[in-house]
Amino acid sequence: METNFSKEQLKDKDNKSAEKILRKCVHCGFCNATCPTYQLLGDELDGPRGRIYLIKDMLENKKPANEKIVKHIDRCLSCYSCMTTCPSGVNYMHLIDHGRSHIEKTYKRPFSQRLIRDFLSTVLPNPTYFKIIGFLTLIIKPFQFFFPKTIREMISLMPIRFPKKKLPKMKVYSPTKRKKPVARVALLTGCVQTVISPQINEATIRLLNRHGIEVVVPKGVVCCGSLDHHLGKNDLAKKTFKKNISIWHEEYLKKGLDAIISNTSGCGTTLKDYGFIFRSDEDFKKKAKKISELTKDITEYLDENVKLIFINNKENKKNYKIAYHSACSMQHGQKIHNTPKDLIKKTGNEVFDIPDGHLCCGSAGTYNLLQNDIAKKLLKEKIINIEKLDPQFIATGNVGCITQISNGTKIPILHTVELIDWYTGGPKPEVLRKL
Ligand code: SF4
Ligand code: SF4
């Protein structure tokens, strides 16, 4: 694609990288074929190619965003299915991040939108606030019909129970059966995940400890920053990124880290992008690059570094039929698709890909809260496709997808790591208790 940035504009590192990305696009439109919003809405501007043109026009012509542009960019899920399909290697992820940041700087959203987005940016990354809002929501739930539609939808999406944590909160979880750990990793425990699904982190820690790996959870690292990043709130996101990078890097230098483990693929995708985000920051670029290099999805780490010891007992001998939901951030963002399935296969169970598995379930960070109508349609399609397989349960690697999918079906759904933990000596996951 021909671009027309001026020399002056290209002094800006983000414009420079946008230009590089735009030049790779050959307008072929293959990406539209696998874009969930294009498939659903049929509008060129709701597909990747159309959005690329919108962003190009804003950036090249120094145009402030307007209502129309914001509508189509906001509808993008950041699922990156288009990146998997694109034959020219267009990095849509970096382009849309730049586009969102430009919108945030040049467009004043209506008051109600600003309020909701600020609310999400304040509450979701903070487990204490999230818990408080969660309990308040339980109280107002019976009166939700008094609220405007968006708030109603948000209330209905809030979890109705907050499981108790079973593992004590510690900075270091050491393997009990070994004097010297075989490896030392940091775990990103996350923000919302720690409140709504603490069992995912607990299964991860147990599993790693059982295989001789020490797990550290450095104080101060909570949210990965992707929530603000995807809302276009770059200053806030960068503050979180810098804090995380500094804490992990210090731990790496002082005591050594073999990896930084993410068990939420959405967060893992952002951590792996820290290096790019800080590419021109003299103070942070080296540290950020190191953090990105150290980051591994839990399934990736297990596959590459751990000889898993599977233990059969009376409970887990059954031959289950499992549907594997490949989260977009996992398959398109991190290009990890077969690894989790191969790990699950090692448990002796049958694993099946969900038809049209490249399409998003509608979760996509805060998407199901901000674009509820589209998210619901995508969820409906996802459930139809899951039910075609008639599985006994669903496994996936992202807490957002777990929450979204469990809103549409009674088929149990759990994190891949809970399953692997169970088959290597951990407890039976609570969600499977009736199977
Ligand atoms: S990220 Fe997903 S929703 Fe956005 S343009 Fe690409 S395929 Fe479409
Ligand atoms: S598939 Fe790639 S090259 Fe083709 S229009 Fe989409 S982004 Fe551009």
Structural domain includes residue 164: no
pLDDT in tens, 239-275: 999 999 999 999 999 999 999 999 999 999 999 999 9
pLDDT in tens, 154-175: 888 887 778 888 877 879 999 9
Distance CA 423, CA 308 (A): 10
Q: Indicate the angle between helix axes 298-305 and 416-423, nearest 10 degrees.
A: 40
pLDDT in tens, 274-312: 999 999 999 999 999 999 999 999 999 999 999 999 998
pLDDT at 315 over 90: no
Which of 305, 332, 351 terminates a domain? The answer is 305
Structural domain includes residue 162: no
CATH code of residue 66: 1.10.1060.10
Residues 202 and 289 in one domain: yes
Supply the pLDDT for residue 393: 98
* 2, 21, 24, 31: residue to mutate for ligand 2 pocket, most atoms within 8 A of CB: 31
Structural domain includes residue 189: yes
Residues 201 and 249 in one domain: yes
Which of 83, 106, 129 terminates a domain? The answer is 106
Atom 4 in ligand 1: which residue has the minimum CA distance? 76
pLDDT in tens, 409-421: 999 999 999 999 9
Residues 79 and 187 in one domain: no
Expressed in angstroms and rounded, the spacing between residue 208 Cα and the centre of ligand 1 is 35
- Sign of the Cα torsion 389, 393, 398, 403 reads positive
Residue ranges around ligand 1 (CB below 6 Å): 35-37, 48, 51, 76-82, 92
Residues 319 and 413 in one domain: yes
Residues 48 and 26 in one domain: yes
**E strand map for 47-180:** 172-173
The number of distinct structural domains making up the chain is 4
Which of 88, 106, 124 terminates a domain? The answer is 106
Is any atom of ligand 2 closer than 6 Å to the C-beta of 33? Answer: no
Residues 224 and 179 in one domain: yes
Task: Please provide residue 187's backbone torsions phi and psi, each rounded to the nearest 5 degrees.
Answer: -115, 130
Residues 201 and 218 in one domain: yes
Distance CA 129, CA 127 (A): 6
Atom 2 in ligand 1: which residue has the minimum CA distance? 79
Q: Count of CB atoms within 10 A of residue 179's CB?
A: 6
Task: Please provide residue 323's backbone torsions phi and psi, each rounded to the nearest 5 degrees.
Answer: -95, 130
Point out which residues pair with 350 in neighbouring strands: 321
The number of CA neighbours under 13 Å toward the Cβ of 36 is 27
Structural domain includes residue 226: yes
- Look up the pTM and report it: 0.93
Number of the ligand closest to the Cα of 360: 1
Q: Is 283 exposed, middle or buried (0-12, 13-18, 19+ CB in 10 A)?
A: exposed
Supply the pLDDT for residue 222: 85
Q: State which H helix or E strand residue 101 sits in.
A: helix 92-106
Q: Which atom of ligand 1 is nearest to the CA of 75?
A: 3
Structural domain includes residue 166: no
Q: Which two tokens stand for residue 322?
A: 């499992």
Q: CA angle, corner 401, sides to 245 and 277, nearest 5?
A: 25
CATH code of residue 367: 3.40.50.1860
Residues 183 and 281 in one domain: yes
Is any atom of ligand 2 closer than 6 Å to the C-beta of 28? Answer: yes
* 20, 23, 27, 37: residue to mutate for ligand 2 pocket, most atoms within 8 A of CB: 27
β-pairing, 183-188 with 259-262? parallel
Residues 339 and 221 in one domain: no
Expressed in angstroms and rounded, the spacing between residue 13 Cα and the centre of ligand 2 is 23
Is any atom of ligand 2 closer than 6 Å to the C-beta of 53? Answer: no
Residues 416 and 293 in one domain: no
- Residue 371 CB contacts under 8 Å (≥ 6 apart), including other chains: 74, 75
Residues 379 and 255 in one domain: no
Structural domain includes residue 4: no
Number of the ligand closest to the Cα of 24: 2
- Domain hosting 74: range is 9-106
Q: State which H helix or E strand residue 73 sits in.
A: helix 67-74
Structural domain includes residue 251: yes
Is any atom of ligand 2 closer than 6 Å to the C-beta of 90? Answer: yes
Residues 238 and 194 in one domain: yes
Per the model's pLDDT, the better-predicted residue between 313 and 100 turns out to be 100
